[in-house]
Structure 1
Amino acid sequence: MATIGLDRLYYAQITEDANGIESYGTPKILAKAMTAELSVELIEAILYADDGASEVVKEFKSGTLSLGIDDIGSIVAQDLTGSKIDSNNVVVSRSEDGGNPVAIGFRAKKSNGKYRYFWLYRVIFSIPTTSLATKGDSITFSNPTIEGTVFRRNKLDAESKHPWKAEVTEGDNGVAQDTITNWFTTVYEPDFTPVTPTITITTQPADVTNVTEGSISGSLSVVAETNTSYPVTYQWYENTLDSASGGTVINGETSASFDIPTTLVAGTYYYYCVLSSTGASDVTTTVATVTVS
Structure 2
Amino acid sequence: MAEDNKVVNTRRCGCKDIYIAVVTANTATEYTTEKPIKLGRALNAKVTTKKSVESTESDDTIEETFESFDSIEIEFDVNKLNPTQKALLRGATYKNGYLVNNVNDQAKEVAIGWRARQTNGKYEFVWYYCGKFNGGWDDNYETKGKKPKTQTDKMKGTFYGRQKDDNTSVEVDETFLLSEHTDAKSAIQDWFAKVQEPTAA
Aligned residue in 1 for 2:93: 84
Cα-to-partner distance string for 1:4-28 (whole Å, 9 max, x where unaligned): 1110111111013676953111111
Out of 94, 97, 111, which is 2:105 matched to? 97
Q: Which residue does the alignment assign to 1:147?
A: 156
Distance change in 2, residues 1:105/1:27 (3 Å): same
Superposition pairs of residues 163-178 of structure 1, within 5 angstroms:
163-174=167-178, 175-176=181-182, 177-178=185-186
- Structure 2 CA distance for aligned equivalents of residues 170 and 22 of structure 1: 26
Bigger helix share: 2
Gaps of 5+ in 2: 1-9
Stretches of structure 1 that go unaligned for 5 or more consecutive residues are 157-161, 194-293
Aligned residues: 187
2:48 partner letter: S
Give me the TM-score of the superposition, normalised by structure 1: 0.59
- Structure number with larger C-alpha Rg: 1
Q: How far is the alpha carbon of 1:50 from its aligned partner? A: 4.0
Residues 56-75 of structure 1: pairs in structure 2 closer than 5 A: 56-75=65-84
Distance 2:31 2:79 in 1: 29
The residue number in structure 1 matching 2:137 is 128
Alpha-carbon offset, residue 70 of structure 1: 0.8
**Separation in 2, partners of 1:155, 1:39:** 23
Higher relative contact order (CA 8 A, sep 6+): 2
Identical columns (%): 25
Whether the 8 Å CA contact 2:123–2:173 is kept in 1: the answer is yes
After superposition, the C-alpha distances for 1:135-154 in whole angstroms (9 at most, x for unaligned) are 01112111111111121211
Q: For residue 4 of structure 1, give the secondary structure of its aligned residue in structure 2.
A: coil
| CA contact 2:26–2:162 (8 Å) conserved in 1 | no
The letter for the 2-side match of 1:90 is Y
Structure 1 residues 42, 17: CA separation in 2 closer, same or farther (over 3 Å shift)?
closer
Deviation, 1:48, is: 2.9
Give the Cα–Cα distance (whole angstroms) in 2 for the partners of residues 21 and 133 of structure 1. Answer: 46
Residue of structure 1 in register with 2:197 after alignment: 189
2:176 counterpart SS class: coil
The runs of at least 4 consecutive aligned structure 1 residues that moved more than 6 Å come to none
What's the Cα RMSD here? 1.9
Please report the TM-score for the alignment, with normalisation by the length of structure 2: 0.85
Partner residue of 1:199?
none
Which residue of the partner structure matches residue 3 of structure 2?
none
Alpha-carbon spacing, 1:111–1:17, altered in 2? closer, same or farther (3 Å): closer
Instruction: Tell me how far apart the structure 2 counterparts of residues 191 and 59 of structure 1 sit (CA, whole Å).
Output: 27
In structure 1, what is the equivalent of residue 5 of structure 2? Answer: none
